[in-house]
Amino acid sequence: MGSIPSEKPHAVCIPYPAQGHITPMLKLAKLLHSCYGFHITFVNTHYNHRRLLNSGALSPHLNVPDFRFESIPDGLPAPPAGFEDATQDIPKLCQSIDEKKILKPFKELLERVNCIGGSPPVSCIVSDGAMSFTLDAAEEMGLPEVIFWTTSACGYSGYLHYEELIQRGIVPLKNEAQLNDGYLEMPLNWIPGMKNLRLRDMPSFVRTTDPNDIMLNCANRQMARSALDETNISGAFNRTPSTFRNLISKDKASQFSAESGRYHLYISYACPWASRCLSFLKLKGLESAISYTSTKPIWERTKEGEEHVGWIFSTSGTEEPGADPDPINGAKTVRELYEIASSAYTGKYTVPVLWDKKLKTIVNNESSEIIQMFNTEFNDLAEKPDLDLYPEHLQLKIHEVNEWVYDSINNGVYKCGFARQQGPYDEAVEKLFKALDKCEEILNKQRYICGDTLTEADIRLFVTLIRFDEVYVVHFKCNKKLLREYPNIFNYTKDIYQIPGMSSTVKMDHIKKHYYGSHPSINPFGIIPAGPNIDYSSPHDRERFSS
Query: Hey, which residues are catalytic here?
Result: 271, 414
Count of Cβ atoms closer than 10 Å to residue 205 Cβ: 19
- At 98, phi and psi to the nearest 5? -65, -35
CB contact at 8 A, 74 and 47: yes
Rounded to whole angstroms, the Cα distance separating 335 from 345 reads: 10
Alpha helices (H) along 291-421: 334-341, 367-376, 395-405, 412-417
Rounded to whole angstroms, the Cα distance separating 348 from 272 reads: 17
b/e 156-179 (16+ beta carbons within 10 angstroms → b): bbbbbbbbbbbbbbbbbbeeeebe
Cα-based angle 323, 346, 371 (whole degrees, multiple of 5): 50
Count of Cβ atoms closer than 10 Å to residue 308 Cβ: 12
Where is 67: in which H helix or E strand?
Answer: strand 67-72
Rounded to whole angstroms, the Cα distance separating 146 from 226 reads: 10
| Category of 532 on φ-ψ map: left (φ > 0), alpha (ψ -120 to 50) or beta | alpha
What single letter denotes the amino acid at residue 227? A
**Length of the chain measured in residues:** 547
Alpha helices (H) along 37-100: 46-55, 90-98
Rounded to whole angstroms, the Cα distance separating 431 from 403 reads: 13
For the chain, the first-to-last Cα distance in angstroms comes to 91
b/e 521-537 (16+ beta carbons within 10 angstroms → b): eebeeeeeeeeeebebe
